[in-house]
Amino acid sequence: MPPALAVRLTCQACTRRKVKCDKKSPCTNCVKHGISCVAVERPRWPRGRSGKQAISREQDLSNRVAKLEQIIEDFTHSKRGTEDVSSSRGDTTIPRSGRAPKPPSERVQTTEELFPPQPSVILQSTDTRDDALGSGFANNTTRRERHTENHPELPSEPVRRRILVDIFLRQVDPVLKILHRPSLCAYLLEGKPYLDYAPGHPVPAALASAVFYMASSSLAEDQCLALLAERKETVLARYNDETMTALARVDFLVTNHLTVLQAFVLSLVAARTHDHSRKVWTMLSVALRIAQALSLHMTDPPFPVTPFEREMRRRLWHLIGWLDLEASLNRGSESMMRSAWIQTHSLTNINDDDFGFDSEDPLPAAQSGPTEATLLILFAHGQCALRALDLSHFAEPGITDIHMRQQTVDHFRRTTKELLAGCDPENVPFHWFTSQIQEQISAVLQLIALRPLQRSPTFVPAELPAPQMLALAADILERRQRMFSDPRAQPWCWFELLYFPWHALVVAMTEVCVCTDRWVIDRYWHTLERSYDLFQKQAVGTHYDWLSASMDSLMSNARAARQKVVDSDSTGLQAPSSHIYMDMASLEGPALSESLPSVPDATLAAEELTQLQDQEVSAWAQYGDFTDRFYELHAIFDGGLS
């Protein structure tokens, strides 16, 4: 008997609201109420069976799920008495932060309602052990992947949440180091109270929802199908709605809880991976204002904080600063934070196991090798340097002298290389990933130092050959493509979605327009074409959409210039001239620093010197014209939408 064909059924939102769905894409009800419409497409269940699966294998799965639910119910009842006692005590206990928990009448949803107090019990069941991450992430070819096209094995909600916690700890927590891993594991995996919150408090429940949302956003589509037996779109919609509801319950806009702000920031990062509208960019400013209301920008807040709270406050503040800077680079807008707000909040290079909620001053001394906080400290150095190179003069004056700008870049390289001393990129994938991020930030800093995002009348660009600038800009694009296509970067590929280096693409295309070295152009042309195609795919319907016209025009000019060089090259492909070309493998280190003085090399002939100066003036003029159009369009676009 051939398998039944999939048909479009009532969407998830209409099913939850129990209203009739017209089954359009999106349906009329979802459009009317402004909510996400998640389509449901599957074969219809046999009529007369109330939707029950009629296959013996599916019946076996149903029996196993029932057994699992019985285990959870028995365990919950066994702990109910002790939890009620501790809950009654917790309602009269003031947490160390000075905020009393809400009384029982105000509790809308408890942690136990979100997930069982001790999901690890699930893994001890003989029937479900290998269905619930018993074999780990390295061997996910277990029963979770044994599903047919029409009847996937759906894990129960407790198992699903346990899977998402493990995903968060592996794919998100190492990059976004704003949560204390031991405390989070004790709460989500062992059923213990979170920090000093009373059992059932809605604030930790909001954090849990944000963790699930962020974990699901870090999954690739095939990963989501293999682990959760659902499409990523469906999973994201579910936990996005849950997180927004949980944040609304705790009044996140006027909160005094650091945990709520942590949950809000995680939800913004999760949304940024799939929502490329202005929403996240706008809401980041809200997160910054909430952080200032909590005095995160103050080195010494006007109220006592424990060593644990101080370190977690600084971590969150640094991440908000990095997201603010990343958002400003994405949109070509001004950053809202000042360098001093980051520089005065130094982080301690220690692991989460080195301190805890009850730790006292002083915290353990910073380690010399890599720790769990190393990448966040790397981001801190990077954003301080980027803010210093910003020429918008919005939050603070930027550095205009080309030599001082180069010194800023060199200082970042020296500092971060010392920070990463002791890394083992050959054997530890996350060490390799951190090293790649350091090299990527270093290259971006170098490019912005030479080709700033903003025009300034007091900035005089360095006289560099077109092949050298083209190599620098294209290397950023090539390095990024190479990094995220490496299997070692698979757990953290979601990080690529937060930012596209359009600035490097613009500089590379403007340099192609003036470069006369066919060897160099052809060396990087495939990278430029691929990056441009990726930009076009990301630009449709996003905040890059309004930039597409200018990018299309620039790419057309670059293609025409390349064709002109090819047509005029009668000698064919040759190695680049040693007089004006810098070795492409030498983009790091002092090579660019040594080329910065405005007096060119005396070995250049007069004709070559004139050609170099003409090319540089032409490239700088084209880049300047583009940035002028860029900010003019940016002002018109934002003004028209506001």
Task: Judge whether 301 lies within some domain.
Answer: no
**pLDDT over threshold 60, residue 622:** no
**pLDDT over threshold 50, residue 638:** no
CB 67 within 8 A of CB 127: yes
Average pLDDT over residues 370-389: 92
Q: Which two tokens stand for residue 232?
A: 């990523």
- Cβ-proximal residues to 554 (8 Å cutoff; 6+ apart), any chain: 506, 509, 510, 513, 626
CB 209 within 8 A of CB 225: no
327-353 pLDDT, tens digit per residue, is 877 776 777 877 777 777 789 999 999
**pLDDT over threshold 90, residue 399:** no
**In which band, very low, low, confident or very high, does the pLDDT at 236 lie, cut at 50, 70 and 90?**
very high
Q: What is the pLDDT of residue 123?
A: 34
Task: Judge whether 24 lies within some domain.
Answer: yes
**pLDDT over threshold 70, residue 230:** yes
Instruction: Decide which of 39 and 463 is more confident.
Output: 39
Q: Which of the residue ranges 93-102, 238-247, 395-404 has the most confident prediction, judged by mean pLDDT?
A: 238-247
Residue keyed to tokens 């350091």: 438
**pLDDT over threshold 50, residue 520:** yes
Give ∠ CA 12-15-17 in degrees, rounded to 5. 110
Chain centroid offset of residue 353 CA: 24
Q: What is the pLDDT of residue 544?
A: 60
Average pLDDT over residues 450-477: 83
177-192 pLDDT, tens digit per residue, is 999 999 999 999 999 9
Instruction: Decide which of 279 and 608 is more confident.
Output: 279
Q: What is the pLDDT of residue 120?
A: 36
On whether both 39 and 162 belong to a single domain, the answer is no
Q: What is the pLDDT of residue 187?
A: 96
Average pLDDT over residues 608-628: 51
Q: What is the pLDDT of residue 435?
A: 96
Task: Judge whether 259 lies within some domain.
Answer: yes
**In which band, very low, low, confident or very high, does the pLDDT at 627 lie, cut at 50, 70 and 90?**
low
Q: What is the pLDDT of residue 602?
A: 34
**pLDDT over threshold 80, residue 504:** yes
Kindly list the distances between the CA atom of residue 482 and the CA atoms of 126, 486, 488, 491, in Å, as whole numbers in the listed order.
43, 6, 11, 15
**In which band, very low, low, confident or very high, does the pLDDT at 625 lie, cut at 50, 70 and 90?**
low
Nearest partner of 616 among 464, 452, 438, judged by Cα: 464
Q: What is the pLDDT of residue 568?
A: 84
Domain count, the chain: 2
Instruction: Decide which of 110 and 322 is more confident.
Output: 322
Instruction: Decide which of 594 and 564 is more confident.
Output: 564
**pLDDT over threshold 80, residue 553:** yes
Least confident of 134-148, 189-203, 516-530: 134-148
Q: What is the pLDDT of residue 126?
A: 31
CB 384 within 8 A of CB 343: yes
Least confident of 69-73, 299-303, 316-320, 550-554: 69-73
Task: Judge whether 397 lies within some domain.
Answer: no
**pLDDT over threshold 70, residue 599:** no
Bridge partners for 42 per DSSP = 7
Q: What is the pLDDT of residue 464?
A: 73
Q: What is the mean pLDDT of the chain?
A: 76
Q: Which two tokens stand for residue 599?
A: 């007096």
**pLDDT over threshold 80, residue 225:** yes
**pLDDT over threshold 60, residue 521:** yes
The Cα 103–Cα 327 span in angstroms is: 39
> Could you give the percent of the chain with pLDDT greater than 90?
43
Task: Judge whether 280 lies within some domain.
Answer: yes
Instruction: Decide which of 328 and 631 is more confident.
Output: 328
Kindly list the distances between the CA atom of residue 384 and the CA atoms of 253, 327, 448, in Å, as whole numbers in the listed order.
28, 15, 13
Q: Which two tokens stand for residue 433?
A: 């990933």
Chain centroid offset of residue 124 CA: 34
Least confident of 18-27, 316-325, 482-491, 583-592: 583-592
Q: Which two tokens stand for residue 314?
A: 């600084």
Q: What is the DSSP letter of 101?
A: P
Task: Judge whether 34 lies within some domain.
Answer: yes
**In which band, very low, low, confident or very high, does the pLDDT at 141 lie, cut at 50, 70 and 90?**
very low
The Cα 315–Cα 373 span in angstroms is: 9
Domain boundary residue among 244, 259, 294? 294
Bridge partners for 41 per DSSP = 8
Domain boundary residue among 272, 294, 316? 294
573-582 pLDDT, tens digit per residue, is 555 544 333 4
Q: What is the pLDDT of residue 571?
A: 55
Task: Judge whether 167 lies within some domain.
Answer: yes
Q: How many CB atoms lie within 10 A of CB 381?
A: 20
Q: What is the DSSP letter of 492?
A: G
Average pLDDT over residues 319-331: 85
Q: Identify the helix (H) or strand (E) that includes residue 60.
A: helix 56-90
Instruction: Decide which of 152 and 51 is more confident.
Output: 152
Domain of residue 208 covers: 155-294
Instruction: Decide which of 449 and 456 is more confident.
Output: 449
Q: Which two tokens stand for residue 461?
A: 């660009």
Q: What is the DSSP letter of 6?
A: P
* pTM listed for this prediction: 0.70
424-433 pLDDT, tens digit per residue, is 999 999 999 9
Sign of dihedral through CA atoms 434, 435, 441, 445? positive
**pLDDT over threshold 60, residue 326:** yes
Q: What is the pLDDT of residue 113?
A: 42
CATH number at residue 22: 4.10.240.10
Task: Judge whether 419 lies within some domain.
Answer: no
Domain boundary residue among 294, 329, 362? 294
Q: Which two tokens stand for residue 61?
A: 């799965």
**pLDDT over threshold 50, residue 128:** no
b/e map 431-462, b = 16+ CB within 10 Å: bbbbbbbbbbbbbbbbbbbbbbbbeeeeeebb
Instruction: Decide which of 231 and 333 is more confident.
Output: 231
Helix boundaries (H) for 218-257:
221-228, 232-249
Average pLDDT over residues 211-226: 95
